[in-house]
Homo-oligomer: A and B are copies of this chain.
Amino acid sequence: MLRLYDSLISGNGYKARWMLMRLSLPFERVELDIDKGETRTPAFLAMNPNGRVPLLQIAQGDWLAESNAILCYLADGTPYLPTDRRQRAAVMQWLFFEQYSHEPNIATTRHWIAHELLTDERRAQLPGKIQAGYAALDVMERQLTRQKYFVGGRLTVADVALYAYTHVAHEGNFDLGKYPAVRDWIARFAAEPGYFPITAEVGTAVTWSDAQKQAPRP
Protein backbone atom coordinates (compact mmCIF):
# COMPACT_ATOMS: atom_id res chain seq x y z
CA MET A 1 0.00 0.00 0.00
CA LEU A 2 1.13 3.57 -0.63
CA ARG A 3 2.38 5.27 2.49
CA LEU A 4 2.59 9.02 2.93
CA TYR A 5 5.03 10.53 5.42
CA ASP A 6 3.32 13.78 6.15
CA SER A 7 2.41 16.59 8.49
CA LEU A 8 -1.15 17.90 8.76
CA ILE A 9 0.06 21.50 9.03
CA SER A 10 1.85 21.19 5.68
CA GLY A 11 0.25 22.52 2.51
CA ASN A 12 2.81 20.48 0.57
CA GLY A 13 1.48 17.41 2.37
CA TYR A 14 -2.10 18.48 1.63
CA LYS A 15 -1.37 18.38 -2.11
CA ALA A 16 -0.45 14.69 -1.86
CA ARG A 17 -3.38 13.90 0.46
CA TRP A 18 -5.81 15.66 -1.84
CA MET A 19 -4.62 13.78 -4.91
CA LEU A 20 -4.63 10.40 -3.16
CA MET A 21 -8.17 10.98 -1.91
CA ARG A 22 -9.42 12.33 -5.24
CA LEU A 23 -8.09 9.26 -7.04
CA SER A 24 -9.50 6.97 -4.32
CA LEU A 25 -6.07 5.43 -3.74
CA PRO A 26 -5.87 3.63 -0.38
CA PHE A 27 -2.92 4.86 1.66
CA GLU A 28 -1.36 4.82 5.09
CA ARG A 29 -0.43 8.16 6.59
CA VAL A 30 2.42 8.75 9.04
CA GLU A 31 2.25 12.06 10.90
CA LEU A 32 5.61 13.65 11.74
CA ASP A 33 6.28 16.69 13.89
CA ILE A 34 8.36 19.06 11.74
CA ASP A 35 8.89 21.56 14.55
CA LYS A 36 10.37 18.79 16.72
CA GLY A 37 12.82 17.83 13.97
CA GLU A 38 11.34 14.40 13.28
CA THR A 39 12.10 14.77 9.54
CA ARG A 40 15.82 15.29 10.35
CA THR A 41 16.33 12.05 12.29
CA PRO A 42 18.66 9.36 10.85
CA ALA A 43 15.66 7.06 10.31
CA PHE A 44 13.88 9.66 8.19
CA LEU A 45 17.00 10.88 6.37
CA ALA A 46 17.62 7.27 5.28
CA MET A 47 14.36 7.57 3.31
CA ASN A 48 14.68 11.21 2.23
CA PRO A 49 18.19 12.70 2.53
CA ASN A 50 16.64 16.13 1.97
CA GLY A 51 14.75 15.77 5.27
CA ARG A 52 11.30 16.94 4.22
CA VAL A 53 7.71 15.80 4.09
CA PRO A 54 5.67 14.87 2.16
CA LEU A 55 7.43 11.69 1.17
CA LEU A 56 5.56 8.97 -0.68
CA GLN A 57 6.59 5.37 -0.13
CA ILE A 58 5.70 3.68 -3.40
CA ALA A 59 7.03 0.26 -2.45
CA GLN A 60 9.25 -1.17 0.26
CA GLY A 61 12.55 0.74 -0.07
CA ASP A 62 11.24 3.07 -2.79
CA TRP A 63 10.46 6.66 -1.82
CA LEU A 64 9.45 9.70 -3.85
CA ALA A 65 10.11 13.19 -2.45
CA GLU A 66 8.96 16.70 -3.48
CA SER A 67 5.24 17.43 -3.24
CA ASN A 68 4.88 18.48 -6.88
CA ALA A 69 6.75 15.39 -8.13
CA ILE A 70 4.35 13.31 -6.03
CA LEU A 71 1.42 15.16 -7.64
CA CYS A 72 2.80 14.42 -11.13
CA TYR A 73 3.40 10.77 -10.28
CA LEU A 74 -0.07 10.23 -8.86
CA ALA A 75 -1.82 12.19 -11.62
CA ASP A 76 0.11 10.59 -14.48
CA GLY A 77 -2.45 9.02 -16.80
CA THR A 78 -5.40 10.90 -15.26
CA PRO A 79 -7.15 14.09 -16.45
CA TYR A 80 -5.30 16.03 -13.72
CA LEU A 81 -2.10 15.93 -15.79
CA PRO A 82 -2.70 16.68 -19.48
CA THR A 83 -1.06 14.44 -22.06
CA ASP A 84 -0.85 17.24 -24.66
CA ARG A 85 2.79 18.37 -24.75
CA ARG A 86 2.08 22.12 -24.64
CA GLN A 87 -0.55 21.86 -21.91
CA ARG A 88 1.66 19.58 -19.83
CA ALA A 89 4.44 22.15 -20.12
CA ALA A 90 2.03 24.84 -18.93
CA VAL A 91 1.17 22.71 -15.89
CA MET A 92 4.90 22.33 -15.20
CA GLN A 93 5.36 26.09 -15.51
CA TRP A 94 2.81 26.68 -12.73
CA LEU A 95 4.22 23.90 -10.56
CA PHE A 96 7.70 25.45 -10.70
CA PHE A 97 6.22 28.92 -10.19
CA GLU A 98 4.56 27.56 -7.06
CA GLN A 99 7.76 26.12 -5.61
CA TYR A 100 9.98 29.06 -6.52
CA SER A 101 7.87 32.22 -6.35
CA HIS A 102 4.91 31.26 -4.14
CA GLU A 103 5.73 28.66 -1.51
CA PRO A 104 9.00 30.15 -0.16
CA ASN A 105 7.13 33.40 0.47
CA ILE A 106 3.52 32.60 1.31
CA ALA A 107 4.03 29.21 2.99
CA THR A 108 7.15 30.23 4.87
CA THR A 109 5.55 33.43 6.17
CA ARG A 110 2.53 31.42 7.33
CA HIS A 111 4.76 28.85 9.02
CA TRP A 112 6.79 31.45 10.89
CA ILE A 113 3.76 33.48 11.99
CA ALA A 114 1.26 30.71 12.75
CA HIS A 115 3.87 28.71 14.68
CA GLU A 116 5.48 31.70 16.36
CA LEU A 117 8.87 30.87 14.91
CA LEU A 118 9.96 34.44 14.19
CA THR A 119 13.59 35.09 15.12
CA ASP A 120 15.41 38.38 14.47
CA GLU A 121 16.94 36.93 11.31
CA ARG A 122 13.54 35.82 10.03
CA ARG A 123 11.90 39.09 11.01
CA ALA A 124 14.42 40.88 8.77
CA GLN A 125 13.41 38.66 5.84
CA LEU A 126 9.68 39.14 6.36
CA PRO A 127 9.16 42.37 4.34
CA GLY A 128 10.85 40.79 1.31
CA LYS A 129 8.79 37.62 1.63
CA ILE A 130 5.54 39.54 2.02
CA GLN A 131 6.30 41.64 -1.07
CA ALA A 132 7.27 38.56 -3.12
CA GLY A 133 4.18 36.71 -1.85
CA TYR A 134 1.89 39.49 -3.08
CA ALA A 135 3.79 39.53 -6.39
CA ALA A 136 2.97 35.82 -6.76
CA LEU A 137 -0.69 36.52 -5.95
CA ASP A 138 -0.66 39.27 -8.62
CA VAL A 139 0.52 36.74 -11.21
CA MET A 140 -2.20 34.28 -10.15
CA GLU A 141 -4.91 36.96 -10.22
CA ARG A 142 -3.97 37.91 -13.75
CA GLN A 143 -4.20 34.31 -14.93
CA LEU A 144 -7.46 33.57 -13.08
CA THR A 145 -9.08 36.71 -14.46
CA ARG A 146 -8.63 35.15 -17.90
CA GLN A 147 -9.56 31.56 -17.14
CA LYS A 148 -11.28 29.52 -14.44
CA TYR A 149 -8.36 27.17 -13.81
CA PHE A 150 -4.65 27.61 -14.43
CA VAL A 151 -4.35 25.38 -17.47
CA GLY A 152 -6.74 24.23 -20.17
CA GLY A 153 -10.02 25.28 -18.57
CA ARG A 154 -10.11 22.38 -16.10
CA LEU A 155 -8.72 21.46 -12.72
CA THR A 156 -5.19 20.05 -12.92
CA VAL A 157 -2.33 19.45 -10.49
CA ALA A 158 -1.34 23.09 -11.12
CA ASP A 159 -4.50 24.15 -9.26
CA VAL A 160 -3.93 21.58 -6.51
CA ALA A 161 -0.38 22.82 -5.94
CA LEU A 162 -1.33 26.49 -5.88
CA TYR A 163 -4.47 25.98 -3.78
CA ALA A 164 -2.52 24.32 -0.98
CA TYR A 165 -0.94 27.46 0.47
CA THR A 166 -3.11 30.13 -1.17
CA HIS A 167 -6.22 29.06 0.73
CA VAL A 168 -4.40 29.40 4.06
CA ALA A 169 -2.45 32.53 3.09
CA HIS A 170 -4.45 34.52 5.67
CA GLU A 171 -2.72 32.46 8.38
CA GLY A 172 0.43 34.32 7.28
CA ASN A 173 -1.54 37.61 7.37
CA PHE A 174 -1.87 37.83 3.59
CA ASP A 175 -4.99 39.76 2.65
CA LEU A 176 -6.81 38.39 -0.42
CA GLY A 177 -9.14 41.40 -0.55
CA LYS A 178 -7.50 42.70 -3.72
CA TYR A 179 -7.75 39.30 -5.45
CA PRO A 180 -11.37 38.56 -6.43
CA ALA A 181 -10.43 36.03 -9.13
CA VAL A 182 -8.22 34.15 -6.68
CA ARG A 183 -11.03 34.16 -4.10
CA ASP A 184 -13.54 32.82 -6.65
CA TRP A 185 -11.10 30.08 -7.64
CA ILE A 186 -10.59 29.15 -3.98
CA ALA A 187 -14.38 28.88 -3.59
CA ARG A 188 -14.59 26.76 -6.76
CA PHE A 189 -11.91 24.43 -5.47
CA ALA A 190 -13.59 24.09 -2.08
CA ALA A 191 -16.86 23.15 -3.85
CA GLU A 192 -15.21 20.14 -5.52
CA PRO A 193 -16.83 16.82 -4.52
CA GLY A 194 -15.06 15.10 -1.65
CA TYR A 195 -13.40 18.31 -0.51
CA PHE A 196 -11.70 18.13 2.90
CA PRO A 197 -9.83 20.79 4.88
CA ILE A 198 -6.05 20.89 5.23
CA THR A 199 -6.02 19.50 8.79
CA ALA A 200 -8.49 16.63 8.22
CA GLU A 201 -7.24 13.17 9.15
CA VAL A 202 -7.42 11.08 5.98
CA GLY A 203 -5.96 7.71 5.04
CA THR A 204 -5.10 4.99 7.54
CA ALA A 205 -3.06 6.29 10.46
CA VAL A 206 0.29 4.66 11.20
CA THR A 207 2.44 6.08 14.00
CA TRP A 208 6.00 7.25 13.26
CA SER A 209 7.14 4.89 16.00
CA ASP A 210 5.49 1.90 14.28
CA ALA A 211 6.76 3.05 10.87
CA GLN A 212 10.35 3.06 12.17
CA LYS A 213 10.09 -0.55 13.31
CA GLN A 214 10.09 -1.47 9.63
CA ALA A 215 13.72 -0.51 9.27
CA PRO A 216 14.39 1.27 5.96
CA ARG A 217 17.24 0.30 3.69
CA PRO A 218 20.33 2.12 5.05
- Interface members, chain A 63-80 (any B CB < 8 Å): 64-70, 72-73, 76-77
Contact call B73/A89, Cβ cutoff below 8 A: yes
> With contacts A85-B76, A90-B64, A92-B68 known, is A100 near B97, CB below 8 A?
no
Closest residue of B by beta carbon distance from A138? B49
> Which residue among A50, A90, A96, A101 has the maximum number of chain B CB atoms within 10 Å of its CB?
A96
Please state the number of chain copies in the assembly.
Answer: 2
**Interface status of A121 (Cβ within 8 A of chain B):** yes
CB distance from A143 to the nearest CB of B (A): 8
**Interface status of A142 (Cβ within 8 A of chain B):** yes
> Which residue among A50, A64, A70, A143 has the maximum number of chain B CB atoms within 10 Å of its CB?
A50
> Which A residues form the contact surface with B (CB < 8 A)?
49-50, 58, 62, 64-70, 72-73, 76-77, 85-86, 88-90, 92-93, 95-97, 99-101, 103-104, 121, 124-125, 128, 135, 138-139, 142-143
Provide 11 A-B residue pairs closer than 8 Å at the C-beta atoms, listed in order of the A residue: A50-B97, A65-B97, A66-B97, A69-B92, A69-B95, A70-B89, A72-B89, A76-B88, A99-B100, A121-B128, A124-B124
